[in-house]
């Protein structure tokens, strides 16, 4: 009986069959959320490692298979091109119907399967076959990201969502450090290219074993599920706090009693159909441009260093890439620290601005100076991706799971921008070079920057991302409202009206 109960709890049944309505997962305290968050954070390390390994293999296959930069970008096309198929297709369907835990297991299965299939592709010296395997791995990682990013943001106190996802993503950066360091010793520096290819096989065999082990752990572990109803309740709580901050607690209670029809899972003006979630689509497009630029810089970092820094081979450049990824990881931890005292949207604006500002001199400078500029760029890239994810999912309520798929689909920018950079770098017989081609990611950084500007300077965006805690502007509106109540001037026009006109007062005070 005990055994049957154990397996029944871990069966992957449809959500509508195993639970109805809201759970308590989105209401977990910080302490209660530590175990599920730690378990999911391991996944962030896995895809950070996989992504860092891909950047190293990009140059490795140029050397061993004698292919151009443009053709080697097929790795990025296969890897990131799989993301929208997962996040809008099979992973999104599993997430909506079977929940987060089933999606984690499915993503790990695909990751492990792709890693195993890499071995015969490498043995057969088939670059196209290896790209197909990377495509399967990309589907697995896309599935993991579709579930892990929203899970981290909603599992625990809402006001700490940006901190949680940036801290978890910091381990992504650690994986990005380990992979190029491993690659510098395992993939490069061998006179015998067959020996280097054999090492790649063993690396992917190790990855497959560990990934299947993690899939087993997720199957056996008990992690809280989060439903659409949880998201709706969380958004209703955010709306309540925002209204209380503007009106004052007592005035808000009077407002609720006078207009009970206006109190529901979300404010009527915000509970829009999915097609009208324009802030989400802007965030997804920003993620597309940003991820494309980030992947382009990382994928051709080794090319940039070997071309612009004298007496630098691929093995040494891979070590420099590990150092750049270390700057990326350090930026994540520093960014999390800054977010404890400064709003995440403000930190995002500063960091995204620095990305395109420091990419510009990398185009014209050479040697250590140019490489140092890319180090700075990777440092400021650190918090951008997870912060766009967290801010972009604000206000979605019952659309949170579906919205997550759209934002993660934006990762396919990594399949578009690197090939554009490679084409520019290979033009004129390669004389243009990787350095000049850095103008491509700089342009995409600039386009993505429009979202950071919007959440800071457009009230419609700003009110949504600030809904979980009153800001200085909201506090100012509340103080002004209290003074107007004392005077009976509820609409601020100078005309005294009875304070009992609660409905009119509420309408006025909720206007930003």
Q: Which residue has the tokens 């949880």?
A: 230
> Which of 7-16, 163-172, 368-377 is predicted most confidently?
368-377
Which pLDDT does position 370 carry in this prediction?
A: 93
Mean pLDDT, to the nearest integer, of 236-248? Answer: 58
Q: Is the per-residue pLDDT at 258 higher than 90?
A: no
**Token output for 165:** 């996802």
- From 77, 52, 86, 84, select the one nearest 415 (Cα to Cα): 77
Report pTM: 0.71
Question: DSSP letter at 221?
Answer: S
- From 144, 182, 153, select the one nearest 44 (Cα to Cα): 144
Q: Tell me: the pLDDT tens digits for 374-430? A: 999 999 998 898 889 888 888 777 777 788 788 888 888 988 999 999 889 888 666
Q: Tell me: the pLDDT tens digits for 134-177? A: 999 999 998 998 888 778 877 777 667 777 877 787 787 788 77
**Token output for 436:** 């000049």
Confidence of residue 199 (pLDDT cuts 50, 70, 90): confident
CATH architecture of 25-228+270-465: Up-down Bundle (1.20)
C-alpha 142/C-alpha 400 separation (Å) is: 17
Q: How far apart are the first and last CA of the chain?
A: 59
**Token output for 470:** 């009153």
**Token output for 439:** 């103008």
**Token output for 331:** 């930026």
Residues 6+ apart with CB under 8 A from 143: 86, 87, 90, 91, 94, 103, 106, 107, 110
Q: Is the per-residue pLDDT at 18 higher than 60?
A: no
Which pLDDT does position 265 carry in this prediction?
A: 38
C-alpha 442/C-alpha 332 separation (Å) is: 21
Residues 6+ apart with CB under 8 A from 428: none
| Residue 83 burial (CB count, 10 A) | 27
Which pLDDT does position 183 carry in this prediction?
A: 73
- From 451, 465, 457, select the one nearest 235 (Cα to Cα): 465
Going from N- to C-terminal start, the domains of the chain cover 25-228+270-465
User: In this prediction, what percent of the chain has a pLDDT beyond 90?
Assistant: 26
> Which of 254-263, 346-355, 468-477 is predicted most confidently?
346-355
């Amino acid at each position: 009986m005990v055994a049957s109960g154990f397996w029944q709890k871990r069966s992957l049944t449809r959500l509508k069959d195993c639970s109805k309505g809201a759970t308590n997962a989105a209401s977990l305290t910080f302490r209660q959320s530590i175990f599920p968050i730690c378990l999911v954070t391991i996944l962030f390390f896995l895809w950070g490692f996989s992504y860092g390994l891909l950047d190293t293999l990009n140059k490795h296959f140029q050397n061993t298979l004698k292919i151009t930069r443009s053709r080697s970008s097929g790795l990025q096309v296969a890897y990131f091109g799989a993301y929208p198929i997962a996040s809008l297709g099979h992973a999104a369907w599993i997430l909506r119907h079977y929940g987060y835990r089933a999606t984690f297991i499915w993503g790990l299965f695909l990751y492990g399967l792709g890693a195993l299939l890499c071995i015969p592709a490498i043995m057969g010296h088939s670059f196209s076959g290896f790209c197909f395997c990377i495509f399967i791995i990309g589907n697995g990682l896309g599935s993991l990201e579709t579930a892990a990013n929203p899970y981290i943001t909603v599992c625990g106190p809402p006001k700490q969502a940006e901190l949680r996802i940036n801290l978890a993503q910091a381990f992504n950066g650690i994986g990005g450090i380990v992979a190029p360091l491993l690659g510098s010793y395992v993939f490069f520096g061998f006179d015998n290219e067959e020996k280097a290819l054999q090492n790649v096989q063993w690396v992917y065999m190790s990855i497959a074993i560990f990934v299947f082990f993690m899939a087993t752990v997720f199957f056996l572990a008990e992690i809280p599920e989060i439903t659409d109803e949880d998201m709706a309740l969380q958004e209703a709580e955010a709306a309540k706090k925002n209204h209380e901050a503007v009106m004052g607690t007592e005035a808000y209670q009077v407002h609720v009693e006078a207009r009970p029809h206006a109190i529901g899972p979300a404010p009527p003006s915000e509970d829009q159909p999915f097609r009208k979630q324009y802030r989400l689509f802007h965030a997804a497009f920003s993620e597309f441009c940003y991820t494309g630029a980030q992947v382009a810089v990382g994928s051709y970092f080794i090319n940039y260093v070997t071309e612009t820094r004298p007496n630098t081979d691929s093995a040494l450049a891979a070590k420099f890439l590990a150092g750049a990824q270390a700057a990326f990881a350090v930026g994540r931890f520093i960014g999390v620290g800054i977010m404890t005292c400064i709003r995440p949207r403000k930190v995002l604006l500063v960091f995204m601005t620095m990305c395109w500002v420091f990419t510009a001199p990398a185009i014209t400078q050479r040697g250590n100076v140019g490489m140092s500029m890319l180090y700075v760029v990777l440092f400021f890239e650190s918090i951008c991706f997870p912060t766009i994810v967290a801010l972009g999912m604000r206000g979605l309520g019952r659309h949170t799971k579906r919205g997550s798929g759209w934002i993660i689909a934006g990762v396919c920018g990594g399949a578009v921008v690197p090939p554009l950079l490679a084409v520019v770098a290979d033009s004129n017989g390669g004389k243009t070079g990787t350095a000049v081609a850095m103008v491509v990611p700089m342009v995409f950084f600039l386009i993505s920057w429009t979202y950071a500007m919007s959440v800071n300077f457009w009230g419609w965006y700003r009110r949504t991302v600030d809904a979980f805690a009153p800001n200085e502007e909201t506090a100012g509106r509340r103080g002004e409202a209290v003074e107007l109540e004392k005077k009976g001037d509820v609409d601020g026009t100078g005309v005294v009206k009875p304070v009992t006109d609660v409905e009119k007062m509420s309408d006025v005070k909720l206007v930003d």
